[in-house]
Amino acid sequence: MTDRLTTLVDQDVKPRGPLQAGLDDRFDVTVGGSNVPAELIADLEGVDVLFTTSRLPLTEAVIEASSLSIIAKIGTGLDSIDLEAAEEHGVTVVYTPGMNARSVAEHALTLLLAVKRNVRIGGNALRDGKWRDEVPNASPVTDTTVGIVGFGNVGSRLAGLLSGFTAEVLTSDPYVHEIDTDVTGATLTDLETVVSESDAVVVTAELTAETEGLIDAEVLSTMKDSAVLVNTARGPIVDQDALIEALDAGSIAGAGLDVFEEEPLPADSRLHEFDNVVVTPHIAASSEVARTNIVETLADLTTRYLAGEPLPERFVATAADAPVQE
């Protein structure tokens, strides 16, 4: 690297003011970045530092062709970055696990309530000149059973929020011990039980080889026909075609989705056609407070890395030549 640091900031990284304030005059910042790998390779030519969201596909080919020294990634999910390639090519990757968990948990609850309380159905009725007598009665969340698939930072916080609804919380997560559910009172069980016994199933798991396509046609078929599905994790965890088939058949009561197999969700997606489906554009983690704290943290981690200072272990995904402190 030269004394000047060519820096690319993904256009989805916001707010940019606090990020820029945390960087000194060495950083020559450009905003952009294509989500098409071949175009991203060109965008990263000569770039030393990248601040990114999951929008940019940092594949092996992209990383191999780049001159990156550090990738600073917003959020917890690292599925958009080939970490093995980063390590092999000497690229340090830092991220912010858990810092947006409360925001995502709140959004999951928002989607759950929006679907259960017929928010979209009611809004469409008003638009069409109708009134409450033409809107079906809402379903409660209070005193129901909510299943959470994945009990990490987001899932555990969602369970805490649900305590205010006196909901029974079931959860499945092969990497969690029963002691991890004690504080929230959630019951750790298997996926089949979570899906079949819950009035709502909320997906908060990380996208991995194990979870890709986890919520498929077979799993959806075991849900109650009065239950709803919420996904604020990653789109590919849910088989979207199977979900649409279940909605068509009325074998589930609705869905609240912030993430999709293809993003942005196409305007002609059939998911837009269902009154009992509420969709949002992958904004669960994007609260003002959470994002500000995250970009400030990423700016600090990056400047510390470049100064050769040790980085907290929890924020480091790969450490090519960065000292790490526990």
Q: Give one DSSP letter per residue of 89-155, joined into a string.
A: TT-EEEE-TTTTHHHHHHHHHHHHHHHHTTHHHHHHHHHTT--GGGSPPP---TTSEEEEE--SHHH
Of 279, 296, 313, the position where a domain reaches its end is 279
Work out the average pLDDT over 177-187: 94
220 and 262, same domain (yes or no):
yes
Domain residue limits at 78: 5-97+287-325
Quick one: 153 and 127 in the same domain? yes
Residues 275 and 319 in one domain: no
CATH number of domain containing 198: 3.40.50.720
Q: Which helix (H) or strand (E) holds 321?
A: none
Please, are residues 161 and 106 in contact by the beta-carbon 8 Å criterion?
A: yes
Mean pLDDT confidence for 117-135: 97
138 with 12, same domain: the answer is no
Q: Based on the fold, state whether residues 149 and 234 are members of the same structural domain.
A: yes
pLDDT at residue 161 above 80? Answer: yes
Residue 211 has pLDDT above 70, yes or no: yes
One domain for residues 177 and 244: yes
Please state the pTM of the whole predicted model.
Answer: 0.93
* Residues above pLDDT 70, as percent of the chain: 99
Same domain, 120 and 243: yes
Mean pLDDT of the chain: 96
Residue type, 68: L
Mean local confidence (pLDDT), 102-120: 98
- C-alpha to C-alpha distance for 93 and 77, rounded to whole angstroms: 12
Residues 219 and 247 placed together within one structural domain of the fold: yes
pLDDT-based confidence at 73, cuts 50/70/90? Answer: very high
Q: What are the residue numbers of the active site?
A: 234, 263, 282
2 or 134: which leads in pLDDT = 134
Domain shared by 169 and 185, yes or no? yes
Whether residue 176 is found in the same domain as residue 200: yes
Q: What is the mean pLDDT of residues 182-196?
A: 96
What's the rounded Cα separation, in Å, for the pair 94 and 134? 52
Question: Which pLDDT does position 195 carry in this prediction?
Answer: 98
Q: Do 272 and 244 form a contact (C-beta atoms < 8 A)? A: no
pLDDT at 2 over 60: no
130 with 186, same domain?
A: yes
At residue 1, the pLDDT reads: 47
Task: State the pLDDT at residue 79.
Answer: 96
| Region for residue 129 given its phi and psi (left: phi exceeds 0; alpha: psi -120 to 50; beta: otherwise) | left
CA proximity to 201, closest of 242, 253, 239, 275: 253
Question: What is the total count of domains within the chain?
Answer: 2
Find out whether 60 and 77 touch, Cβ atoms under 8 Å.
Answer: no
Q: What is the mean pLDDT of residues 8-14?
A: 97
The answer to whether the Cα torsion of 177, 181, 182, 188 is positive or negative is negative
Are 133 and 273 within one domain? Answer: yes
Categorize the per-residue pLDDT at 325 as very low, low, confident or very high, splitting at 50, 70 and 90: confident
- 306's enclosing H/E stretch is helix 288-306
From residue 8, alpha-carbon distances to 45, 66, 69, 71 in Å are 10, 12, 12, 10
Interval 105-110 mean pLDDT = 98
- Can you read off the two tokens belonging to residue 253? 């009561």
Instruction: Give how far Cα 90 sits from Cα of 17, 87, 98, 254, 290, Å.
Output: 29, 5, 25, 46, 29
pLDDT of amino acid 326 = 59
